[in-house]
Structure 1
Amino acid sequence: MSGADLYAEANNAFFDDDYDEALDLFTQAIQVEPKNPDFLLKRCVVYQKLKKYQEASTDAATALKVLEETQGTRTLLARAHLQNGITLHHLKHYAQAQQHFEASESMNPKEKTLATWLRKNAEKIPKVEPAPPAPVVAPLQPTTPSQARVRHEWFQNDTFVTVEVFMKNIKADTVSLDFFDDSLSLSIKMPTGADYSLELDPLAHEIIPKESSYKILSTKLEIKLKKKQAGILWGALEGEDDQGGAMAISSTSGPSTARQPKDWNKLVKDIDQDQEKAQGDEALNGLFQQIYKNADEDTKRAMMKSYVESNGTCLSTNWKEVGSAPVETKPPEGMVAKKLTGV
């Protein structure tokens, strides 16, 4: 089995509280990919559950060394420092634990459980502690970090939040994706040998991990997150969301008090339904409908987004051109643009 398959089975065992099975599967995954920091950090947590804190400390230190040498993301580095701090706390090395907790806080102040561990550990600092033994860290071969820049976007409907990671020719066995109640962790092994990592932690709202999924397309990885609360409009993808509310489409033409991401999938569905009822449209509108009807999903989204955001002055079928930024209004010379209403 591949490392990703073993990792997925190990996660299932962990969620079922079968820690012995999870430990065995994570160990097999690490044998396949000994320099994968996600695998090491997950096994570290299993060792903590089994109260094997010295083994947990070794995994946490090894994962941190991997991330420092490969220039890992700040989110993963924060998590590695947190796990180092937790294991050192259990080993009663409170001063060293405090250093790791503070390093984690500087990289990601919102790291889950960090505030609790900072408080618990600070209460122990005055106590005398023995010097910690040096953790055993396996020698690592240097790796070259990827210089590629990978873009991701997101949109939503009543039921799902969809995250698109734009990367061509992704192989299924290079993808490792874990869903949690309020976060997701994605890792993709790139052709250069480096890893692409996307950590959304915490998500703006909770999801249902077992009903979330992903699929690999020719130019991207599409991730569908099942909303725990259907019908709630996410005002942000991650972090605190002060604008979450019931999803609705405004019928007013005045300026919005809060800029919300448009649900292009819902607009596509509405247009499809309208096409079935439309009769007697002018020739130009008929041509528009014919192009739209025979288009793929990305083309439909591009047409809707460009037409709406440009107030009817631009119609594009290229999602790559219009998907990443607002489309400007460009009326013909001598004419004045007016904002479309009812969209």
Structure 2
Amino acid sequence: MASQAARGKKALDDGKYVDAIKEYTAAIKESPTSPDFYIQRSTAYQRNGDLEAALADAEQAVLNGEARGKKEAIIEGQFRRGIALYKLGRLGDAEFILKRVKEAKSDHKQADMWISKTAMDLKNLPEDDKRRACTVTETPSPPKLSTIASASTATTSTPTQPPSKPIIAPAPQQTPADKIRHEWYQNTENIYFTLLAKGVPKDEAHFEITERSMSISFPLQTGSSFDLHLEPLFAAVVPEKCITRVLPSKVEIILIKATPGQKWSALESSEPVKPKADSVVGAEQEAVKKAVFHDNKEKGPAYPTSSKSGPKDWDKISKDLRVSDDGDKNELDDDDDDDGGDDSNKFFRKLFKGATPETQRAMMKSYTESNGTALSTNWEEVSKGKVETVPPDGMEAKNWSK
């Protein structure tokens, strides 16, 4: 039995589907409750074009897997069942079964591809099309004895007898995954991408192209899948205009450049895709830049502030303190002759009088905004933002406007 299954697997990998069916039929005769042999024979039937037989074997594989409690066998049996239903045109049934596969095994990559293919085909069908109907249940109904007998007779017949359906010529030997290569070239309007892979199944290849990415996936004869994802592309393309072709010896993709005439120096960009700037945020940032850095000879620079009345002109405040409204000198200029007040007050008045305009701005801004709790002479630091109120230890600052 083991040797029959091994010969069947080799024949299946070599594209000799009739031989594979014969070997797996012999193996099933020895072990009729094996779900794996039914899964493999279902695959051989499907690739040989006998879709009804492929569906029957897939359903039997599910039943055998449930009887033996083999979760993986149930999932793969359902997957082969979904593919057979899809190829038979029963899209509603195929979608239902393939989604059950995805629920049972969320990382089943081939299930994602077939679900996408089914969804695209359903989208193009009229609402009243019979192919949309879902008529199957998750657990298939056991086959009738007459069906089993007829299937057994059909599968054990000698290969010299004429088949009921014409045998489809096997696909070319598939290129191993580690031997697959790709190349590309361009003109002013398009990028021409070629995947050098033979035997890619046309009806099972899946393409996804976005503005800055491209992906290709298809099943391999080894049972795994080939996946290629390029992101980000060197520049933007127009996804809805791009063209894909699956040929016997290669896969071709024509990417339409979003900017005709742009020369790509590579297929992929080394820089990540930058998010589009928000126009409102950009306008606000531009307004702040103009408010802070705008060169106006008649007016000093404005500085960031949280005041509801807008930014203060500290140059003007400093000037007003030095010169009175009637043009006479302010009392600050006469503080040397003023004996009133304590020594600390005189010191700060004298310090302010002898300071540069920039230092005076710093002192006034820090003292005013901190509510008299801070006094700084460093304009470079004070100009960066509002000076917070810092009350002495043991005291609390209150907002009397609330």
Q: Aligning the two structures, in what range does the TM-score lie when normalised by the shorter sequence?
A: 0.3 to 0.5
Larger Rg: 2
Length-normalised TM-score, structure 2 = 0.32
User: 1 or 2 for the larger relative contact order (CA 8 Å, sep ≥6)?
Assistant: 1
TM-score by length of 1: 0.38
